[in-house]
Amino acid sequence: MAIPASSGFRVIYHAPICPTCGSSNITTDDIETTDGLTEEAFICLACGETWPLACVTDWDTQAGGHRAPSSISAPAGGTS
Ligand SMILES: [Zn+2]
């Protein structure tokens, strides 16, 4: 993945591809989540699928010593 930028231009391999239909006809926009928050997301112009730009996990909290059960009910907020 680490491609040296020796050719004089940057190559970004985070190409947005629709996980549903595989289309590369993608845009980004702010969408409203089910929590009432607004976040930037990819939007497939071909089928209308939306998905977040990045996944946020809570592995750090589990690694802190408190071993939570598999079902985590606490919302991951407060990072704004
Ligand atoms: Zn699609």
Domains of the chain: total:
1
Identify whether the C-beta of residue 45 lies closer than 8 Å to the C-beta of residue 23.
yes
Measure 76 CA to ligand 1 centroid, in angstroms: 27
- Distance (Å) from CA 40 to ligand 1 centroid: 17
Domain for residue 78, yes or no? Answer: no
State the Cα–Cα distance between residues 31 and 67, nearest whole angstrom.
33
Q: What is d(CA 79, CA 58) in angstroms, rounded to the nearest whole number? A: 12
Average pLDDT over residues 11-28: 79
Task: Write the pLDDT tens digit of every residue in 23-75.
Answer: 999 999 888 878 888 888 889 999 999 887 765 555 544 444 555 556 655 56
Q: Please check whether residue 45 lies inside any domain of the structure.
A: yes
Is 4 a member of any domain?
Answer: no
CA 8 – ligand 1 centroid, Å: 32
Domain that holds residue 28: 15-54
User: What CATH number is attached to the domain comprising 44?
Assistant: 2.20.25
Q: Do the domain assignments include residue 70?
A: no
